[in-house]
Structure 1
């Protein structure tokens, strides 16, 4: 079993929901990022999605896109992001880390080098936003050979045929996109999401985690009634707006304190279910 599978099995036994924060690697500073990961765990993260900065992030809303720009400006590349994950692994061998990014930087590195670097760093899953399930067979096989899960997105607009392909290739959990649009989109229809999640559960035994549009404890709890986990990104990442790798330790610490307060709110809401 991968760390992701082990974690979900333990959560199910405890009747708990997974809290999965998303943060951009190297944002706002490469020097503060490993500490941020540890703080997220201390404040209730069951696993963490780490964004890989990319210059053309088509699925990202402005908040996450700007985080990527800050990370790139600070010198964070895909391989440097993996060195940060490896550093985190020196003192945390249990919390799953899932990379979320785009295919272009991975292809530039090369599949074999990327897979080896991920395994060496202690990565547990990879979500490539722009890799269609129908074209992912080789990628999924290589991940499996390196003991990692391939995570896929499902959306309200996903056609049945693609949905079937996702069920075939996906491992670890399914990331259900609750809204049409990009990350950080606004309105959330929890009832409609609940119906979709319940329908997907009829087709797979994989855990279903919902992201996009979850902003507070109330929305997390509403989604948590149906889903196995919630993913929160823009609501956390927005606190680093205006900062960069030259920001003072005090400025970064103040922003991280706001993130941890939000994490506490989300954790408490999910644990109340």
Structure 2
């Protein structure tokens, strides 16, 4: 079993929901990022999605896109992001880490070298936003050889054929995009999301985690009634707006404290579902 699969099995036995924060590698500062990851775990994260900075992030809303710009400006590359995960792994051998990014930087490194680096760094899963499932077989196979999962997105507009391909190639969990549009989009229709999640569960035994539009404990709990986990990104990342690698430790610490307050709110709301 992968670390992701082990984590979900443990959560299932405890009748708990996964809380999965998304943060951008190197945001707002390369020096503060590993500490941020540990703080997220200490405040209830069951696994962490780490964004890989990219100059043309087509699926990212303004908040996450700005986070990527800050990370790139601070010098964070894909290689450096992997080094941050490796540093995190020195003192946390259990919390799954999933990389979320785009195909171009991976192709520049090369599939084999990228997967080798992921394995060496202690990565557990990879979500490549713009890698179609129909073209992912080789990548999925190579990840599996290194005990890593390939995560895929499903959305309200996913066509049946693509949905079937996702079910075939996905591992770890399915990331269900609750809204049309980009990350950080507006209103969340929890009843409609619930119907979709229940329909997907009839087609797969994989855990279903819902992201996009979850902003607080109330929306997390509403989604948690149906899903196996919730993914929260923009609501956390927005606290770093206006900061960068030149910001003072005090400014970064204050922003991280706000993130941890939100994490506590989300964790408490999800745990009340148990």
Q: TM-score range by the shorter chain?
A: over 0.9
Using the TM superposition, give the Cα deviation of residue 146 of structure 1 relative to its aligned residue in structure 2, in angstroms: 1.2
Q: Secondary structure at the match of 1:151?
A: strand
Q: Secondary structure at the match of 2:250?
A: helix
Separation of aligned partners in 1, 2:208 and 2:115: 25
Report Cα offsets for 1:40-61 as digits up to 9, x if no partner: 0000000000000000000000
| Structure 2 counterparts to residues 199-218 of structure 1, below 5 A | 199-218=199-218
Report Cα offsets for 1:210-267 as digits up to 9, x if no partner: 0000000000000000000000000000000000000000000000000000000000
The aligned counterpart of 1:259 is: 259
RMSD: 0.3
Using the TM superposition, give the Cα deviation of residue 128 of structure 1 relative to its aligned residue in structure 2, in angstroms: 0.1
The aligned counterpart of 1:193 is: 193
After TM superposition, which residue ranges in structure 1, 4 or more long, deviate above 6 angstroms? none
Separation of aligned partners in 1, 2:111 and 2:223: 35
Provide structure 2 residue ranges, at least 5 long, that are not aligned to the other structure: none
Q: Secondary structure at the match of 1:22?
A: strand
Q: Does 1:15 align with 2:11?
A: no
Separation of aligned partners in 2, 1:142 and 1:66: 32
| Structure 2 counterparts to residues 22-101 of structure 1, below 5 A | 22-101=22-101
The aligned counterpart of 2:224 is: 224
Separation of aligned partners in 1, 2:96 and 2:142: 19
Q: Secondary structure at the match of 1:37?
A: helix
| Structure 2 counterparts to residues 148-187 of structure 1, below 5 A | 148-187=148-187
Separation of aligned partners in 2, 1:162 and 1:117: 29
Separation of aligned partners in 1, 2:272 and 2:182: 29
Q: Does 1:250 align with 2:250?
A: yes
Separation of aligned partners in 2, 1:137 and 1:10: 28
Separation of aligned partners in 2, 1:200 and 1:78: 33
Using the TM superposition, give the Cα deviation of residue 22 of structure 1 relative to its aligned residue in structure 2, in angstroms: 0.1
Separation of aligned partners in 2, 1:79 and 1:153: 24
Using the TM superposition, give the Cα deviation of residue 94 of structure 1 relative to its aligned residue in structure 2, in angstroms: 0.2
Using the TM superposition, give the Cα deviation of residue 73 of structure 1 relative to its aligned residue in structure 2, in angstroms: 0.3
Provide structure 1 residue ranges, at least 5 long, that are not aligned to the other structure: none
Report Cα offsets for 1:148-198 as digits up to 9, x if no partner: 000000000001110000000000000000000000000000000000000
Q: Secondary structure at the match of 1:263?
A: helix
Aligned residue-pair number: 273
Separation of aligned partners in 1, 2:96 and 2:158: 27
